[in-house]
Chains A and B, each alone.
Chain A
Amino acid sequence: MPEVDVFTAIANPARREVLRLLRDGGPHPVAQLAERFDMSRPSLSEHLRLLKDAGLVTERRAGRQRLYSLEAGPLHELAGWLAPYEQFWREKMSDLATFLDADDD
Chain B
Amino acid sequence: MTDEPASIEVDQYLPHPPGKVWRALTDPARLATWLMPSDFAPVVGHRFTFRTEPRPGFDGIVHCRVLDLEPERLLRWSWCNGALDSTVTWTLAAEGHGTRLFLRHDGFDPGDPWQQQAMRIMGGGWRSHIMRALEAELNAG
Residues of A within 8 A of B (CB): 5, 7-8, 10-11, 13, 16-17, 19-20, 23, 72, 75, 78-79, 81-86, 89-90, 92-100, 103, 105
Contact = CB atoms under 8 A, between A and B. Distances in A.
A97 B8 contact: no
A65 B6 CA distance: 39
Contact of B126 (A8, A16, A81, A105): A16
B41 interface: no
Contacts of A98: 34
Contact of A99 (B10, B34, B126): B34
B94 interface: no
A30 to B, nearest CB: 21
Contact of B10 (A7, A23, A89, A95): A89
Nearest to B21: A100
Q: Is the interface of A mostly helix, strand, loop or mixed?
A: helix
Contacts of B33: 99
Interface in B9-36: 10, 12, 14, 16, 20-21, 23-24, 30, 33-35
B110 interface: no
A93 B12 CA distance: 7
Interface residues of B, number: 36
Given A7-B118, A11-B117, A93 B103 contact: yes
A93 B101 contact: yes
A11 B116 CA distance: 9
A8 to B, nearest CB: 7
Nearest to A105: B20
A89 B103 contact: yes
A37 to B, nearest CB: 13
Given A11-B113, A17-B1, A23-B133, A100 B16 contact: yes
Given A92-B34, A93-B103, 10 more contacts: A10-B121, A11-B117, A72-B137, A79-B131, A82-B121, A83-B127, A86-B10, A95-B34, A97-B12, A99-B33
